[in-house]
Structure 1
Amino acid sequence: MSELEKPRIGISSCLLGERVRFDGGHKQHSYIDRTLGQFFDFTPFCPEVEIGLGIPRQPIRLIVTDVEDQWRCVGTKDPTLDVTEKLQSTAEKQGQWIQALSGYIVKKDSPSCGMERVKVYNDKMPGKQGIGLYTQRIMKNFPLLPVEEEGRMGDPGLRENFIQRVYLYHEWRGMCEAGIKAADLINFHSRYKFTVLSHSQPIYRELGKLVAGVSKDTVDEVSSKYIEMLMPAMKKVATRANHVNVLQHIQGYLKNQLDKGDKQELVELIGLYHRGEVPLIVPVTLLNHLFRKHPHDYIEQSTYMQPYPAEMRLLNTI
């Protein structure tokens, strides 16, 4: 996998403007299509069309069954139309191309594609505790794959979190395809350790201990444990307090290079960010400027300062 290769992202077809919905319409999402489309290669897929439901078609919905935490997916007008097994089966059949993905964006509220809070109907009031049956199976089969709903992409923190996970997982997949070595794992952790610290201090410490013991003979086992710990930790949106902690850590690498004025300006900007008065991009931009004047090899290779293309401007909103 080339470093220049764009991350490949699975996506519900309707979000790219394909007219595959039950009413013959679409749900094109302009930010995903026009903005993220510049940085990602999308693979659209509609499980409802794949299993043979027509366009237009009778809507489907999740209903309660007698088995706890399990649902059936049936027609809203004709409940004898039961596509439960078909949706689960088609998810199993897509494994080969999904395995090559670095992320997946699904349609919210969909009984096939929704990631969370999908309506489940019973004899009384419907409850929002369901997961689309196709997406549920995909997340079970590929638990490390970053998955997000388009409805949650409007939240700056969730949007940044998903995209950050995509780029991290994309790099990890490329490293594994090339054949991961102990030195590769150590270098990867070194580059991402500040990013991990911004999400979880306990996992940051545990991963450090794990990598410290890696060797040629244990790299396969250690790398598997590493990514299985890392990806769930990265799902937690980084807090402002954790970002401040990381910024202060990075600031320490400049303690012998800065004059009093630069130090004061940096401290003040980190404080403004801590109080929510400026976005994260402000102290990060100053740090990048200062490290251009005072280069440091370790900071230069850290992903925290630029975890994805700067043109995405994600740090401007968090």
Structure 2
Amino acid sequence: MENFARPKVVLSKCINLEATRYDGGIIKDEFAKKLGEFVEYIPVCPEVQIGLPIPRDPIIIVKNEPDKLIQPKTKIDLTQKMHEFSRGFLKSLNEVDGFLLKSKSPSCGVKDTNYYKDYEGKEPVGKTSGMFARKVMEMFKNYPIEDEKRLIDRGIRDLFLTKIFAFADIRTLKDNLTKSNLIEFHARYKLMLMTYNQTNLRVLGKIISNLKENEIDAYQNYSQIFKSSFNKKPSVGAHINTLLHAFGYFKDKLSPKEKAHFLDVIEDFSKGNIDLYTPIELILGFAIRFNEDYILKQKYFNPYPKELRRL
């Protein structure tokens, strides 16, 4: 069984941890609960931490120049307090790999917070991001930032999981950073990078080819480019390209029937009849059979713990 680096994930405290919602409630979320077995959570409730009580009168985001965070009942403007807390809290994070925030929240909502044009919260004009979430996205560009509702979508969830475990992996690499370890890291992520961002794969390959022993600056540059490689989920075609590339390691060793079966599986995957892990398991079976260590070490085939696949 593979050992995964343990991601550090900022979690809205009202998700499973404490009853900190405006109405004194708590959100029960099975995915976040299961994920907690494999990650280290860093809990936060921005609204409580700027001094609001539990329970509390609701707050809203008002469309303005700039936007305002207002508590309609009291008419209090909480914008500056939230900005100051958000900046200070996020700067204090020495190590973090992602954010799992509360949907629709005026502080933590990622994309679905109500946006109002009036200070009473009567006339919504669309959706926006919460004030704390905005600062997260500003200060942690390229990082996985999601809310619990968006993670119901399997594609979004898969990308989130892939990113937090990849980010944890490269973060922990610096604890034992050598030229050979960075080369080995790059080798393990080649097929994943091929799938997600071929341009960055070429750029990172050049960094690796020009490495000097214990060159810390190269790691920092490599890490930044690596983290920018996962900004969107790959197309089915990108996955098929990678699967066929890996299949090339075995096609001359397989029987005609085995090759035909694998290509039939790829066809089924392209049509959406089966999921990605069916051809992946076939490739891994070939790699075990023919003792192909390069394929067995590829993070593309096992990006995060299997227990999180079917949630």
TM-score of the aligned structures, taking structure 2 as reference length? 0.91
1:224 maps to which residue?
220
Q: Distance in 1 between matches of 2:4 and 2:209?
A: 30
Q: 1:71 aligns with which of 63, 67, 70?
A: 67
2:267 maps to which residue?
271
2:187 maps to which residue?
190
Counterpart residue type for residue 225 of structure 1: N
Q: Give the share of equivalent positions with the same residue, in percent.
A: 29
- What count of residue pairs does the alignment treat as equivalent? 306
2:30 maps to which residue?
30
2:128 maps to which residue?
130
Alignment of 1:39-54 (within 5 A): 39-54=38-53
- Tell me, what secondary structure is at the counterpart of 2:53? coil
Q: Distance in 1 between matches of 2:96 and 2:161?
A: 13
Q: Distance in 1 between matches of 2:206 and 2:123?
A: 49
By how many angstroms is 1:17 displaced? Answer: 4.8
Structure 1: which 4+ aligned runs deviate by more than 4 Å? none
Q: Distance in 2 between matches of 1:233 and 1:128?
A: 30
Which shows bigger deviation, 10-19 or 196-205?
196-205
By how many angstroms is 1:211 displaced? Answer: 2.7
- Tell me, what secondary structure is at the counterpart of 1:112? coil
Counterpart residue type for residue 94 of structure 1: F
Q: Distance in 2 between matches of 1:305 and 1:4?
A: 13
By how many angstroms is 1:173 displaced? Answer: 0.8
By how many angstroms is 1:129 displaced? Answer: 4.7
Which shows bigger deviation, 111-120 or 54-63?
111-120
Q: Is the CA contact (8 Å cut-off) linking 1:104 and 1:147 kept in structure 2?
A: yes
By how many angstroms is 1:97 displaced? Answer: 5.7
Q: Distance in 1 between matches of 2:48 and 2:279?
A: 48
Q: 1:91 aligns with which of 74, 86, 99?
A: 86
Give CA deviations for 1:181-218 in whole Å, capped at 9, x if unaligned: 3333222121111111211233323332333223237x
Give CA deviations for 1:99-126 in whole Å, capped at 9, x if unaligned: 3222210011111111224222114953
Q: Is the CA contact (8 Å cut-off) linking 2:62 and 2:115 kept in structure 1?
A: yes
TM-score of the aligned structures, taking structure 1 as reference length? 0.89
Alignment of 1:65-214 (within 5 A): 65=64, 67=65, 70-79=66-75, 81-95=76-90, 98-123=93-118, 125-178=123-176, 180-214=177-211
Counterpart residue type for residue 297 of structure 1: D
Q: Is the CA contact (8 Å cut-off) linking 1:18 and 1:28 kept in structure 2?
A: no
RMSD between superposed Cα atoms in Å: 2.1
2:296 maps to which residue?
300
By how many angstroms is 1:52 displaced? Answer: 0.9
Q: Compare the two structures and name the one with the higher helix fraction.
A: 1
Give CA deviations for 1:271-300 in whole Å, capped at 9, x if unaligned: 111111111111111111111111112112
By how many angstroms is 1:93 displaced? Answer: 2.6
Q: Is the CA contact (8 Å cut-off) linking 2:5 and 2:169 kept in structure 1?
A: no
Q: Distance in 1 between matches of 2:205 and 2:264?
A: 31
Q: Which runs of 5+ in 1 are unaligned?
A: none
